[in-house]
Amino acid sequence: MRHALFEIDVNGIIHDTLFNSLEVNHDVPSVFSLFSGAEDKLLAALRKARNSHTVHDFHLCEMEVSGLLFPIDGGLYLYVAPPEDASLMKDALHDFLRALSPKKGTHPTDSWRFYEQIQKLNNELMNKSRKIEKLNRHLNRLNEMLNRRLITDPLTGLLSRYQYRDEIMAAIEKDPKKGGVFCYIDIDDFKAVNDTHGHRIGDLYLQAFATRLRSLPLENAIAMRIAGDEFGLFLHPVDKEKKTFSQKLWTMIRENVVRPVEIEGKSIPLRLSMGIVRYPEDTNEIHRLIDYADYAMYVAKRSGKSKYALFDKKKYERAKSS
């Protein structure tokens, strides 16, 4: 916190330093020594404050402080604070000066009573600032939690549907001349798992599947949860012939993923259908890549489930036009 209260004259000479938490020498002779380059602003404000009963302010945004000049008991006082604190203090000082201005023959101790009031207000401001800092820390923690939820799916820990397009783009940009494949995976008959065993078991089932998907012995693979029981795999770069690679990938998934899930003494079958799209041969647009893979997955499902299908653009265009 950067707060200070000085008793000064209209030439800027400091007669007394009532409190000072600025990072400056406490024995500086003038307010101009505190703020290099601010002489013109301060001098104009000092002249404006002479013989006045109102608060005058000036701003030193480059120093992240503001100043309030106010007269009392024949003296002139300068209060320095961060801009947001100074704006809060300004109203309080206006009220105080309005209450004092009609009085005649004020006692010398009035200044010290005023100084005590300033200290009290300053303490209140610092307490409020601490509360704001605490709230900001809490807000930052909430933002971190939200960011984690946006990046990773909270149930499975895989990349979330809010982030996977960015991750796919980032993977491509690392080596844009290389190709890749996108696999759209749908768990067959997952609704029956929920209907038979309940949603809690269904969630554990999805978590087990995600763990298997994440554990596949693949390099440069991005595993994601797209929605519900629909998942994705993006592999980039893929240097091998993609049709041969797709067959090997399907074999790998069947051997490592397609087997019953054991949950609380229950053995629940796990089968899946998968559609595969080649990048950039089939498309180099990310949203089309996912749409095409989704279509290929449904082709696999319609052909009897527990299969995979490569995207065929001619069949896709005929299906869309019919």
Query: What's the confidence (pLDDT) of residue 81?
Result: 81
Top CATH class of 164-321 equals alpha beta
Query: Is the peptide bond prior to 280 cis by the omega test (within 30 degrees of 0)?
Result: yes
The pTM (predicted TM-score) of the whole model is 0.57
Query: What's the confidence (pLDDT) of residue 139?
Result: 72
Two structure tokens written together for 280: 């950039």
Query: What's the confidence (pLDDT) of residue 1?
Result: 47
Query: What's the confidence (pLDDT) of residue 217?
Result: 92
Closest residue by Cα to residue 161 from 305, 272, 290:
290
Residues of the chain where predicted confidence (pLDDT) is lower than 70? 1-2, 22-28, 35-39, 51, 53, 60-63, 73, 95-116, 118-119, 140, 142-150
Query: What's the confidence (pLDDT) of residue 244?
Result: 85
Domain positions in the chain: 4-136, 164-321
Query: What's the confidence (pLDDT) of residue 61?
Result: 61
Query: What's the confidence (pLDDT) of residue 143?
Result: 61
Two structure tokens written together for 149: 């939820």
pLDDT (tens digit per residue) in 79-133: 888 877 777 777 777 766 666 554 444 444 455 566 567 667 777 777 777 777 7
DSSP 3-state of 276? strand
Q: Rounded to whole angstroms, how far apart are CA atoms 273 and 164?
A: 20
Query: Is the peptide bond prior to 269 cis by the omega test (within 30 degrees of 0)?
Result: no
CATH architecture of 4-136: 2-Layer Sandwich (3.30)
